Amino acid sequence: MSGFFRNDHAVRLLGLILLVLSLFLSIDYNHTGSEAAYLLLIGVGTLTYHIVVRIIIGESFKYLKRNRADLTNPWYRTNRCEQELQKKLKVRHWKDKLPTYDTEAFDPRQHSWTEIAQAMCQSELVHECCAVASLLPILMIPYLGHPVFFLLSSVLPSLIDLSFAMVQRYNRPRVMKVIEKEERLKEQQSEKVEEEVHRAQ
């Protein structure tokens, strides 16, 4: 993903531009009533929804969770069936090809592995919520028509968000192993220090 889409301010600006554009298209359609204006309004309006709803969901989790997820929560654990699905979908081969919105949150030079794991949990939840929200425009089919457009523009973004969530669920167990290894090393070092102190006495 380009640097533009990694910038929070740029994404918000894009959302604002799309909102304004949708407003102008709505005014234009109400004035002209043309089919072309109607289709353009639906297209831009749907894109605006997908951008804005992701901004709202992402910012809400950032404010409420602050990358402080409970790593012991059963929701974040993967079971054997899910791991088999990950193998069948070959997640290992394409996971690194997906863009990262906030690279700093997953940088081990800036954060501990525990903090990174918590950021992964939050990222997963954001994408799962976005996947559900992506399907909501389907409810507009009875009112606006164009079922093929709404189905494609809802299902495809939802699947994309689920793929991001799946990558987080694939990577996190490996990060947890690193955390467990670090904790064991700390315990061993602590025991070694205690032994040396005991001998010195």
Please write the tens of the pLDDT for every residue from 118-163. Answer: 999 999 999 999 999 999 999 999 999 999 999 999 999 999 999 9
Q: Is residue 179 in a domain?
A: no
Q: Which residues contact 46 (CB under 8 A, 6 or more apart)?
A: 137, 149, 150, 153
Q: Of all residues in the chain, what percent carry a pLDDT higher than 70?
A: 94
**Owning domain of residue 84:** 3-174
What burial letters (b/e) apply to 72-104, b meaning 16+ CB within 10 Å? eeeebeeeeeeeeebeeeebeeebeeeeebeee
User: pLDDT band at 101, cuts 50/70/90?
Assistant: confident
Q: Is residue 53 in a domain?
A: yes
Q: Is residue 191 in a domain?
A: no
Q: Is residue 129 in a domain?
A: yes
User: pLDDT band at 49, cuts 50/70/90?
Assistant: very high
Question: Cα–Cα distance between 144 and 53 in angstroms, integer?
Answer: 20
Q: Is residue 198 in a domain?
A: no
pLDDT digits (tens, 9 = 90+) for 3-38: 444 567 788 899 899 999 999 999 999 998 889 999
Q: Looking at 4-13, 161-170, 188-197, which range is the least confident one?
A: 4-13
Q: Which residues contact 155 (CB under 8 A, 6 or more apart)?
A: 134, 135
Q: Is residue 188 in a domain?
A: no
Q: What is residue 7's predicted lDDT score, i.e. its pLDDT?
A: 61
Q: What is residue 3's predicted lDDT score, i.e. its pLDDT?
A: 41
Q: What is residue 183's predicted lDDT score, i.e. its pLDDT?
A: 87
User: pLDDT band at 201, cuts 50/70/90?
Assistant: low
Q: What is the pTM of this model?
A: 0.84
Q: Is residue 130 in a domain?
A: yes
Q: Is the pLDDT score of 61 beyond 50?
A: yes
Q: What is residue 6's predicted lDDT score, i.e. its pLDDT?
A: 52
Number of domains in the chain: 1
Biggest CA pair distance of the chain: 92
Q: Is residue 136 in a domain?
A: yes
Q: What is residue 67's predicted lDDT score, i.e. its pLDDT?
A: 86
Q: Is the pLDDT score of 2 beyond 50?
A: no
